[in-house]
Chains A and B, each alone.
Chain A
């Protein structure tokens, strides 16, 4: 069983929901990423998403764009990313998901890329611009290397398409909570609640539903969970913390923020 799947089973037995935390590899630098990951693990994050920066992140808002841009400028690349993953793997068994854009995989060749990151310790992949309609070769390669494939759905995705997308997803399904890019901080509207309830009904317990984009504080996390989500995904809020912390403070700040978020996934 994959690390992600067994994590969700474990949480279910404890009647908890999952906190999925995103950070950008190489932001503010490689050491900073290690500190951030330590803070996330200590604070009780259940799954970590590691972003690998891409020059043209068109699904991302300003915070993740900026983090990726700086990481690339500091020289983050595929080799350094792998080194980082291997270092993290030595310290923790937490499920690790790689979030990046399709071109980085396509350029290496789907299969080559997936086998290499799998070996380094990555358990799943999220590609915001990989549409299920174009996913045949990608899925074949992922299956061969037992890599979880986490697809995204959106509040305007049709029921038929939710079925199709969840059918090829493994680990969890990622529901984009709002119309917008990552890191928006608006108040959630009714359509988000509807989208969560609707998706849960269609999924019928077959795969966990994680909700992200614009979830940035414990109140919002509780709201999303109350609406029926199995997991919350928080990204830009962590990067904003890292952006404003001196390097020796990153771990502690991330840990305490993670704790405050994790609380909202545990029933009172």
Chain B
């Protein structure tokens, strides 16, 4: 079931390359460079150096005792990607792609961002590696994630607010692709999730697989076996695929948690794998949220990072192959988990990660105490404090 380097980027029927012709030479050049360097000793050594000395790897696998007690079942471990430099798993990928871009002699880097975490991680990688960065971000997201816009500016990266369409992540990707078409010779598109045309989904997965590889090593030390279950949140799905991929051949149950927004029935959600259908967007065939004619739907989630109508093609494959169970957690449950983890463990999780926490608590209850769950805590929640405050004051008002 493990597809190491699928031919033509096809995970079963998913993935591929549905792109304007101008980008074909660019993705071919990228694939060639990636294949050349991915197993290159010098490249791997440099990446390892930056991951350890700059980003802070390996990250701890922390046994959340209080949360475990609260749930009253299986042990809950947290994979602390929130402790990475920048506060999210995104830097694993931006350092990898940044080093690749340098070897490709592309000095101008563009990226899209939803919550701003990938934008910040891109900005950091650009500063550290001496590259010029520009980031596209939906206007709506620049408003709800002001702190990250400010951070990107401080790091010397220009943020372009995107006012087209729904003004969120998918529109930021559209605009980044348009920039790439226009400046294809000089520009490297540093995609932040395991989405897009081949080879991005494979490449981003490989750079993020450091998460799952560390989990495996750490669990074998701590529990003398691979985890019984792992849980990760899924927007585009980069932290999830990085968690799942190294564990695919293990005896581990896997859960990918999407944003249920205001509830699946309300139609206001971003649960692509739970409620979507097959389609083509951003260069890939995958599950999408779309209407019956194929127009892409407006999505909703309290967390900007999950607010995306598509999903990485490997997740679509793992869903249909029934290797991973995909489920949704709604805004309310995510906020409750956000508060719970903050209070019980002194860890403020990103709202994205809070979806995974909420689900882990649910399943832990029904698992024996001898078993263990690993939750990938993909990011920290400082950026979400304001948004949670707004949510709480609105909902208290509604209750009155």
Contact = CB atoms under 8 A, between A and B. Distances in A.
Interface of A: 54-59, 61, 65, 69, 72, 77-78, 101-108, 128-131, 133-134, 151-158, 161, 165, 176, 179-181, 184
Given A131-B17, A131-B18, A154-B21, A56 B293 contact: no
A134 B17 contact: yes
Contacts of A152: 20-21
A56 B292 contact: no
26 contacts: A54-B295, A56-B165, A56-B174, A56-B296, A59-B178, A69-B164, A69-B165, A103-B280, A107-B293, A128-B20, A129-B18, A131-B24, A133-B16, A134-B16, A134-B17, A134-B285, A151-B21, A154-B20, A157-B21, A165-B21, A176-B21, A176-B22, A179-B183, A179-B185, A180-B181, A181-B178
Majority DSSP secondary structure for residues of B touching A: mixed
B184 interface: yes
B182 A181 contact: yes
B20 A102 contact: no
A147 to B, nearest CB: 18
Nearest to B279: A103
A181 B184 CA distance: 12
A180 B182 contact: yes
A56 B282 CA distance: 9
Nearest to A156: B25
A58 B25 contact: no
Given A55-B295, A78-B293, A106-B279, A133 B17 contact: yes
Contacts of A57: 174
B170 interface: yes
Contacts of B288: 103
A151 B22 CA distance: 12
Contacts of B281: 56, 103
Contacts of B185: 156, 179
Contacts of A108: 293-294
Shortest Cβ-Cβ A-B pairs, 8 listed = A107-B294, A154-B22, A104-B294, A180-B182, A55-B296, A154-B21, A103-B280, A55-B295
Contacts of B279: 103, 106-107
Nearest to A174: B21
A178 B293 CA distance: 31
A69 B164 CA distance: 9
Contacts of A101: 280
B283 interface: yes
Contacts of B292: 107
Given A103-B280, A104-B293, A133-B8, A153 B178 contact: no
A194 to B, nearest CB: 14
B290 interface: yes
Contacts of A157: 21, 24-25
Contacts of A58: 20, 174, 177-178, 282
Nearest to A158: B25
A233 to B, nearest CB: 15
B108 to A, nearest CB: 14
Contact of A129 (B19, B182, B183): B19
B362 to A, nearest CB: 34
Contacts of B174: 56-58
A69 B8 CA distance: 33
Contacts of A54: 294-295
Contacts of A65: 164
B18 A56 contact: no
A78 B16 CA distance: 26
A189 B110 CA distance: 25
Interface in B188-230: none
A78 B292 CA distance: 10
B291 to A, nearest CB: 9
Contacts of B170: 56
A185 B165 CA distance: 23
B141 to A, nearest CB: 16
Given A56-B296, A103-B279, A129-B280, 9 more contacts: A56-B282, A58-B20, A77-B293, A105-B294, A106-B294, A108-B293, A155-B22, A157-B24, A176-B20
A65 B21 CA distance: 19
A63 to B, nearest CB: 12
Contacts of A128: 20-21
Contact of B290 (A69, A102, A103, A181): A103
Contact of A102 (B8, B18, B182, B277): B18
Nearest to B294: A107
Contacts of B8: 133
Nearest to B198: A133
A181 B181 CA distance: 7
Nearest to B23: A154
Nearest to A61: B178
Contacts of A161: 24
A131 B21 contact: yes
Nearest to A54: B295
Contacts of B18: 102, 129-131, 134
A176 B185 CA distance: 16
A33 B183 CA distance: 33
A107 B290 contact: yes
A130 B290 CA distance: 19
Nearest to B184: A179
Interface string B254-292: 000000000000000000000001111111010010101
Nearest to A52: B293
A246 to B, nearest CB: 26
B78 to A, nearest CB: 36
Contact of B280 (A55, A61, A106): A106
Contacts of B278: 106
Interface in B136-178: 164-165, 170-171, 174, 177-178
Interface in B16-38: 16-22, 24-25
